[in-house]
Amino acid sequence: MEKSTFLLFFMIVVGLPVILGVGGDMFKRWLKHKERMAEALNAQTAEKAAQYAAHTERLEQRVRVLERIATDKGVALADEIESLRTLPADNAATRPLN
């Protein structure tokens, strides 16, 4: 029985601290890896958000241009169309296109 008691004592005194030490180190490494992955994901997300913001800004600029074309030139364009309708058919064929 003394041999099994010595073995149990040895496992508790030596084996348990070694296992906990290795396990603790493995946990610290895993936690550091997770933190790095989170930082990389945050950087990637921020980059995508900036790309989406730039794309949205370009689309908004295009819409502003289209709105300005539709509102500013709409009256002049309608007048030009109406003037073409009032021209005689033979004069419209000889009129140069702009």
Q: What is the pLDDT of residues 44-65, one digit of tens each?
A: 999 999 999 999 999 998 888 8
What pTM did the predictor assign?
0.45
pLDDT at 41: 94
How many other C-beta atoms can be found within 10 angstroms of the C-beta atom of residue 36?
10
The total domain count for the chain is 1
Q: Which residues of the chain have pLDDT under 70?
A: 1, 73-74, 87-98
* Residue 18 in domain: yes
Close Cβ partners of 92 (under 8 Å, ≥ 6 residues apart): 84
pLDDT at 74: 62
3-state percent breakdown (helix, strand, coil) of the chain, nearest 5: 90, 0, 10
pLDDT at 48: 94
Q: State the residue range of the domain holding 80.
A: 2-86
* Residue 14 in domain: yes
* Residue 92 in domain: no
- Cα gap 62→68, rounded to integer Å: 10
